[in-house]
Amino acid sequence: MFGKQMVDGGVIDHHTLEEQKCQLNYELNSSGKYFAFKEQLKHAVVKIVREKYLRTTAFNNLEQLQAFLSELYVYLVDQMHVALNQSTVVASPTFTSCEQLRLFAHEAEVNEDYALASVYYQERLARDRQIVQHWLDYGAFCLLMEENIKAQECFREALSLNPSHLHSLLLCGIIAVMMEHYEEAEIFFEDATCLEPSSILSWTLLGLFYEIQENDIRVEMAFHEANKLLKARLAKEKNIAEAAEGGGKKLHTLSATVLRTAPDGSPKVQPDSVEPVVTIQLPEDDPAVKLTKKLSPTLSKNKETSQKVHGEHSGCLSQRRLHVIPFLHAGSRTGVGMFMAGVSFVTMPVCGFLFQFVHRALAHELLCQQEGPSCEYYLVLAQTHLLKKDFSKAEECLREAIQIDYLNPNAWAQKGHLCYLSGNLSEAKECYERTISFVTDASEIHFVYLRLGSIYLKEKEYDKAKRTYMLACKKSSSCLTWLGVGIACYRLKEIAEAEDALSEANALNNNNAEVWAYLALVCMQGGRQLEAEQSYKYAMKLELKNEELLQEIHEVQRMVGFGNPSF
């Protein structure tokens, strides 16, 4: 309220300070912020009473109550003075970094716990509102929730922090298209190409935007520029590769692999330098082939690929706009095409209207692949079907992807996710086990570990569950990874290790009901009734929904002889 006066550096007299104090009190009371802050403090005090003084029951008489209140008041005042007397503003120590919060938010998204995901994204912003990526991630989440206005605010806030940030410009353009503000969108996309004229991504998205607008001339111009940049990049990569080989044979770096044996006897794979021969192409009656037969005759040679998989996407291009295709054939299996780069960017916040961008980019990618659709093409196509819960089409795409590149860890990971989501846990387990056998990790390996570990727990393979969750903790620890370790250790009767793991989980997120429930079980096994009671109460306060776990707590409570009625 009075920040400007403080910044000006002028001396403020006593009368002015009193006026400001009155204005502040009025604002706090009239806005409800005073009451809200008081309620927030109330919860903090209750937590201190329970955790520091271990008080969870009522007092027997008034004298005990008064004595306790006096002791508590002295403690709270002392702590208040400690905070107020700090000479410098120092951020309070936290158990989690901003990167961990991003991981936790993504975990919550995947588990469809969107309320929790929102909390984590907002916590990142509260930590530091000056970081562009925090705003972009929260904006992408708002897009997923179809909160377009809020997403627009986030992207514009990111752009205001750094007007030269390319992705902020592009996302502002995309959200403008979604809201049908086409003039604004054009400005953002044009600014992006001016800011970084060498960006293939910017020119590709600009071309896709003009294609939506049916502006044929500018579509051709934008795609021509993107294609020119892509050719230059591929030529440079080729020269570097040849130089590395001493001017010898051309490098092939995509997906061919060879097997080797790991120390534990499990099969592992590692990259090799020989590319597999792929002959999968489109049938002659496919719409894309009919429209581009003269431009890309190799597409019509093979009749075995299913029209059902490709047809709806290749049909996104109208006949009268196909004159731009001659400029789009620089993409090959030796590098990522410009349209796949566009797809990868747009699918970050994919939802609703954004599928229009995705499908157009995939249609172009399909047409400019001289050797037929790539594995990456099918993986992205499968991802769009998974997002729409269209499991049958996703399965078809993944079948094609695996046929093209049998040893691609991302293909097996996505197939595992498909089986997991459709309830086929046995096949999901096989796919996940194959995925983690590769030397190169899948891009979403964290969720492979989480889901594989959960399958092991359901099938009572607790040793395997423990190892899998420990691998996840080593890669990227979270409350869920440590909870998995804790559950597995508890089932293996490793009570001390279980408590350590659950304590780690609780430090990362003390609002997980299952963590408190298992802590209650661990404490009961150790004969610590008071701690078990507190943990149980927290689990119930957080609305524990696992009925089997709740029943187990009651059974263990009867076995160990705890008779407290609060259980």
Q: What DSSP assignment string belongs to 265-300?
A: S-EEEEE-S-PPP------TTSHHHHHHTTT-GGGG
- What is the residue type of 427? E
Alpha-carbon torsion angle 108, 112, 113, 114, nearest 10:
90
pTM (whole model) above 0.75: no
* Residues 6+ away with beta carbon under 8 Å from 211: 219, 321, 360
* Separation between Cα atoms, residue 552 and residue 567, nearest integer Å: 12
Print pLDDT tens along the chain (567 aa).
776 665 555 567 778 888 888 888 888 888 878 877 887 888 788 877 777 777 767 888 888 888 888 888 888 888 887 777 764 444 444 557 888 899 999 999 888 889 999 999 999 998 889 999 999 999 989 988 888 899 999 999 999 999 999 999 999 998 998 888 999 999 999 999 999 999 988 898 898 889 888 888 998 998 899 889 888 888 888 888 888 776 544 444 333 333 333 434 444 444 443 333 333 344 444 433 333 343 333 333 333 343 444 444 433 333 322 222 222 333 333 345 555 555 555 444 444 445 566 667 767 766 666 677 888 888 888 888 888 888 999 999 899 999 988 889 999 999 999 999 999 999 999 999 999 998 888 888 999 999 999 999 999 999 999 999 999 999 889 999 999 999 999 999 999 999 999 999 998 888 899 999 999 999 888 888 888 888 888 888 888 888 888 888 888 877 766 655 455
Domains of the chain: 14-87 (no CATH), 98-238 (1.25.40.10)
Q: Do 371 and 298 form a contact (C-beta atoms < 8 A)?
A: yes
**CA neighbor of 257 nearest in space, from 151, 137, 410:** 410
- What is the residue type of 29? N
* Separation between Cα atoms, residue 159 and residue 166, nearest integer Å: 9
Q: Do 425 and 432 form a contact (C-beta atoms < 8 A)?
A: no
Alpha-carbon torsion angle 86, 90, 94, 98, nearest 10:
160
Give pLDDT, residue 105.
92
Give pLDDT, residue 3.
66
Structure tokens at 135: 């705003």
Opening angle at CA 81, ends 79 and 86, nearest 5: 105
Phi-psi region of 389 (alpha: psi -120 to 50; beta: other; left: phi over 0): left
Percent of the chain as helix, strand, coil, to the nearest 5: 70, 0, 30
DSSP one-letter code for 348: T
Q: Which helix or strand (DSSP H or E) is residue 261 part of?
A: strand 257-261
Q: How far is CA 191 from the centre of its chain?
A: 28
Give how far Cα 201 sits from Cα of 170, 177, 190, 338, 484, Å: 9, 17, 12, 7, 40
* Separation between Cα atoms, residue 434 and residue 414, nearest integer Å: 12
* Separation between Cα atoms, residue 509 and residue 96, nearest integer Å: 9
**CA neighbor of 141 nearest in space, from 173, 161, 118:** 118
Q: Do 54 and 530 form a contact (C-beta atoms < 8 A)?
A: yes
* Separation between Cα atoms, residue 494 and residue 417, nearest integer Å: 31
Q: For residue 259, give the 3-state DSSP assignment.
A: strand
**CA neighbor of 534 nearest in space, from 550, 547, 523:** 523
Q: Do 280 and 403 form a contact (C-beta atoms < 8 A)?
A: yes
Spell 139-149 as b/e; 16+ CB within 10 A means b. bbbbbbeeebe
3-state secondary structure 125-139: HHHCCCCHHHHHHHH
